[in-house]
Amino acid sequence: MRETPNALKILLEERERGLQSIPAELVKTIYQIEVRVQFDEMRPEAPQKIRQALKIVLDKEALEGASNGNAF
């Protein structure tokens, strides 16, 4: 049974093509944030939530001592 094209699946596949420096979790998180509010006229929550998600990733990397441009 053929699957419906899935935006998330495509995002993760494209990530494998040279954009592995982006944590997969982050991609998932951002996508889900947007999907939840995609039909609202006003989406005040989304940019803030994205900012938060990015902060979490950066904090995590700082803790783990990661440096620029390393692949994950």
Instruction: Tokens for 32, please give them.
Output: 């889900």
Longest dimension (CA), the chain: 45
Q: Smallest distance, Å, CB 30 to another protein?
A: 6
Question: Can you tell me which of 44, 64, 68, 71 binds another protein, judged by CB under 8 A?
Answer: 68
Residues between 39 and 58 that touch another protein (CB under 8 A)? 39-43, 46-47, 50-51, 54, 57-58
Among 62, 63, 64, 71, binds another protein (CB under 8 A): 62
- Compute the distance between CA of residue 30 and CA of residue 44 in angstroms, rounded to an integer: 14
